Structures are given as structure tokens and as C-alpha cells.
């Protein structure tokens, strides 16, 4: 019998398991409303779809440069100039097969097995799982009300002391999943400055940029030249299934990332790159979708506490409500299974994001349509009454 590797024993991504069960139930005819994953209710922008149709008509699709087409990189650079007033050399941009590929590349290029990498807890579980699979030491730092639900130089200092060895990397998301925290420019700068003085690689996950409802949305590029920025067309641009994202890298690191990408991914899919370039010009359409998410956010901010599910963290950005379910359960995994089987509403147990306190929390995505969100709240209210 073939022995599986130790790295294969990684914790499952429970949100995806919940989604799979929700899909099975929907296929079996149950009226499932999924609030389990960050899947926008809307299609890719019309311009992106039209660009893809034109590309399919001529059919000349193939490999591109390993880090993407020059035209897409130039369009992304123009995006930073128009949105943030920052001049970015297109040669610093690496187009990736979704942001997930960006994380893989960053972890492989920047760290060696055993290195300590700090992440916020609660936080996106794939960080922890990928880092562990690659043999890195995950240092989870409690991001709570005292720290503004984000990482701080002080919390990093304490974590390094507790670990007994220096941090090699720090990964921060803003807006954050699942908490919705938006880390403003001043705090972002303090974190980047600390990492710079300590020779710590600073990775900024900005895949929810464009979906900020409160607070100050800033890119790490505004405060640090040596940050590694990861972004995606999945969330704001509604292109999850196209698997296309990008990174902005320090100039001195580009070639190292390219060498790894050449062997791991060959190149990002050309069709997705063509569509993504067109999507960058669809802000008016996409901001209309954002207004719909804002309506959903308002709905959940009102209804969830009325139902007895208090908001556990800010809902300033992204499209998630992270709630305290301890009034009803001390086992969010079992609660999620019951909720799906009894009222056909899918949400993600907090254990996915926080292995310490997640037994009493859950994450609800409000990226769906407003009528579905309202119906889900009505079902929850009746179920928990």
C-alpha cells in the first residue's frame, strides 16, 4: 500500500466541504441558499465576456509569458495610477492563476522549511494550510478588539518572543476574511516599517480591494516599496471561475518568482487574461454590484443581532459577517451541519478560520442576491426562535 506523505494530512478547507454538501443537496432538489463561500452573485463584467467571446472566435489561444501578457500588466499598472496615484513598473507585476497561485509562489520564493510566518487569527484557512503543507511554521496571532482586529508591531514582537525565534514573514489581509477588518494607511505603514527594520518579508493580501464599505482602503504599495502585494479578479471583478489574479513584486524578486512560476504553472490562461484586461475598465458596472452587497450588508447588520447572532468583528470590507453563535451552540461545526440539513442555509463554521475560538463563531457570506439573503435571514429567525 502506498504511504501518503505527512504533508497530505493538512486540515480540510471546511468552507469548500460545506459548499460541496450544499451543492449535493441543491442537486437533489432542496431549496438551498449558500452563504458558505465568497462567490459573487453576479457574472463577470459585460466587457470581459465580450472580450472572451472575440478571443474564442479566432481561437488563437496558447501559452503566454510565465508572468502574463504585457498588455494586461500595463493595464494593471494603469489601475494603480488611477485608483491609488502610484506609478508601478509593469515589469514588477506577475499575473497568476488566481490569487492562490500567488500565495504558493510567495511562500516558495520567500521562505524555507521551518521558517516562521505570522498570520492573523481568525484568518483565511488556506494560508495556514498551504504554509503547513510546505513545511513552514505558522505563527497565529490573535487579532481581537484590543488590536483593532488586525496585526500590530507589538503583537508581532510578542509572537516572535513566544515562538523563541524570529519571524521570517508576515501576511496581512485588508479587507480581511472573515472579519471584514480594513487596516488603514497609518497602521499599514507601521506594520510595513516594523517588517522592514526586522528584515521580515511583508505580504499584503488585497483580494477584497474595491469592496470597502467603511474605513480607509490603502494598498501596501503606498507605504512600502518592498512589500509583496497579492490581488485577484475573483471578488470585486466577479471572476472566481476564471482563475486569474496578480502580484506586485519588488524589482529584485521578480526573476526568482518567474523561475518558480515557469515550472509550476507554465503561464496563466490566456483567455482569462484577455477577459481580465477588459474587466479593469468596467468600474461603473462593478460598483453597481457593490451597492447590492452594501444593501445585503445593511440587512445582515440589522437582522443577525435581532436573531441572536451578535457581530463578532467589523464588517467594514469584503462581504462576510463573522458572528458569535455561542448563545445557541458551542460546536459551530455541528451547528453548520444542522442548519444546512434542517433549513437549507449553508454557512461556514468558525473553526475554519480560528482553531482556538472558532467553535463559537460562524461566517456568513453576503455575496449572494438580496432576495436570497432576506430569505436566509427569515429561515434563521424561524429556526432559532
The pLDDT value given to residue 6: 87
The pLDDT value given to residue 315: 96
SS3 string of 228-280?
EEEEECCCCCCCHHHCCEEEECCHHHHHHHHHHHHHHCCCCCHHHHHHHHHHC
Which ranges of the chain would DSSP assign to H, the alpha helix?
Answer: 14-27, 46-58, 70-84, 98-110, 125-133, 153-163, 185-197, 254-264, 270-279, 283-307, 332-343, 370-384
Question: What 3-state DSSP class applies to 17?
Answer: helix
Residue 35 has pLDDT above 90, yes or no: yes
Mean pLDDT, rounded, of the chain: 96
Q: Are 275 and 75 in contact (CB under 8 A)?
A: no
State how far the alpha carbon of 208 is from the alpha carbons of 19, 96, 145, 367, in Å. Answer: 20, 16, 21, 12
Return d(Cα 306, Cα 303) in angstroms, integer.
Answer: 5
The pLDDT value given to residue 181: 97
Residue 10 has pLDDT above 90, yes or no: no
Q: Would you place residue 329 in the very low, low, confident or very high pLDDT band (cuts 50, 70, 90)?
A: very high
DSSP, residue by residue, 69-95: -HHHHHHHHHHHHHHH-----GGGEEE
Cα 319 to the center of its chain, rounded Å: 10
The pLDDT value given to residue 9: 86
Return d(Cα 329, Cα 349) in angstroms, integer.
Answer: 11
Q: Which residues pair with 120 in a beta bridge?
A: 141
Q: What is the pLDDT of residues 40-55, one digit of tens each?
A: 999 999 999 999 999 9
Q: Would you place residue 280 in the very low, low, confident or very high pLDDT band (cuts 50, 70, 90)?
A: very high
Q: What is the pLDDT of residues 120-169, one digit of tens each?
A: 999 999 999 999 999 999 999 999 999 999 999 999 999 999 999 999 99
Kindly give the pairing relationship between strand 169-173 and strand 201-205.
parallel
The pLDDT value given to residue 163: 92
Residue 73 has pLDDT above 90, yes or no: yes
Mean pLDDT of 315-328: 97
The pLDDT value given to residue 331: 95
Percent of the chain clearing pLDDT 90 (strictly above): 95
Q: Would you place residue 299 in the very low, low, confident or very high pLDDT band (cuts 50, 70, 90)?
A: very high
Kindly give the pairing relationship between strand 116-121 and strand 169-173.
parallel
Return d(Cα 111, Cα 21) in angstroms, integer.
Answer: 35
The angle formed by the CA atoms of residues 277, 283 and 287, to the nearest 5 degrees, is: 140
Mean pLDDT of 176-191: 97
Q: Would you place residue 103 in the very low, low, confident or very high pLDDT band (cuts 50, 70, 90)?
A: very high
Return d(Cα 297, Cα 278) in angstroms, integer.
Answer: 28
Q: Are 208 and 12 in contact (CB under 8 A)?
A: no
Cα 233 to the center of its chain, rounded Å: 11
Residue 251 has pLDDT above 90, yes or no: yes
Q: Are 124 and 288 in contact (CB under 8 A)?
A: no
Residue among 154, 211, 159, 148 at smallest CA distance from 183: 148
Q: Which residues pair with 323 in a beta bridge?
A: 311, 362
Residue 7 has pLDDT above 90, yes or no: no
Percent of the chain clearing pLDDT 70 (strictly above): 100
Amino acid at each position: 500500500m502506498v504511504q501518503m506523505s505527512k504533508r497530505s494530512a493538512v486540515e480540510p478547507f471546511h468552507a469548500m466541504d460545506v459548499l460541496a454538501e450544499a451543492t449535493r443537496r441543491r442537486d437533489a432538489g432542496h431549496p438551498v441558499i449558500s452563504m458558505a463561500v465568497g462567490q459573487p452573485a453576479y457574472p463577470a463584467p459585460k466587457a470581459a465576456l465580450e472580450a472572451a467571446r472575440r478571443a474564442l472566435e479566432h481561437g488563437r489561444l496558447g501559452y503566454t509569458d510565465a508572468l502574463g501578457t504585457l498588455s494586461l500588466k500595463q493595464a494593471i499598472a494603469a489601475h494603480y495610477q488611477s485608483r491609488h496615484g502610484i506609478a508601478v513598473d509593469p515589469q514588477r507585476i506577475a499575473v497568476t492563476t488566481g490569487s492562490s497561485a500567488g500565495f504558493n509562489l510567495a511562500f516558495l520564493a520567500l521562505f524555507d522549511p521551518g521558517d516562521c510566518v505570522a498570520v492573523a487569527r481568525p484568518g483565511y484557512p488556506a494560508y495556514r494550510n498551504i504554509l503547513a503543507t510546505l513545511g513552514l511554521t505558522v505563527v497565529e496571532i490573535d487579532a481581537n478588539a484590543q488590536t483593532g482586529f488586525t496585526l500590530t508591531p507589538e503583537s508581532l514582537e510578542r509572537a516572535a518572543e513566544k515562538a523563541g525565534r524570529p519571524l521570517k514573514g508576515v501576511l496581512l489581509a485588508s479587507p480581511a476574511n472573515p472579519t471584514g477588518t480594513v487596516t488603514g494607511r497609518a497602521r499599514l505603514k507601521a506594520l510595513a516599517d516594523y517588517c522592514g527594520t526586522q528584515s521580515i518579508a511583508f505580504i499584503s493580501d488585497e483580494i477584497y480591494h474595491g469592496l470597502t464599505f467603511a474605513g480607509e482602503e490603502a494598498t501596501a504599495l503606498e507605504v512600502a516599496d518592498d512589500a509583496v502585494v497579492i490581488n485577484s479578479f475573483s471578488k470585486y471583478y466577479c471572476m472566481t471561475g476564471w482563475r486569474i489574479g496578480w502580484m506586485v513584486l519588488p524589482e529584485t524578486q521578480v526573476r526568482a518568482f518567474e523561475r518558480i512560476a515557469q515550472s509550476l504553472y507554465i503561464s496563466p490562461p490566456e483567455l482569462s487574461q484577455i477577459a481580465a484586461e477588459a474587466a479593469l475598465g468596467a468600474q461603473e458596472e462593478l460598483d453597481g454590484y457593490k451597492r447590492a452587497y452594501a444593501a445585503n450588508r445593511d440587512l445582515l447588520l440589522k437582522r443577525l443581532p435581532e436573531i441572536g447572532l451578535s457581530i463578532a468583528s467589523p464588517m467594514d470590507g469584503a462581504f462576510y459577517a463573522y458572528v458569535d453563535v455561542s448563545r445557541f451552540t458551542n460546536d459551530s461545526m455541528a451547528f453548520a451541519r444542522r442548519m444546512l440539513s434542517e433549513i437549507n442555509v449553508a454557512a461556514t463554521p468558525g473553526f475554519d478560520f480560528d482553531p482556538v475560538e472558532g467553535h463559537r463563531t460562524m461566517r456568513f457570506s453576503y455575496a449572494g442576491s438580496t432576495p436570497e439573503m432576506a430569505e436566509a435571514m427569515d429561515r434563521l429567525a424561524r429556526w432559532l426562535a
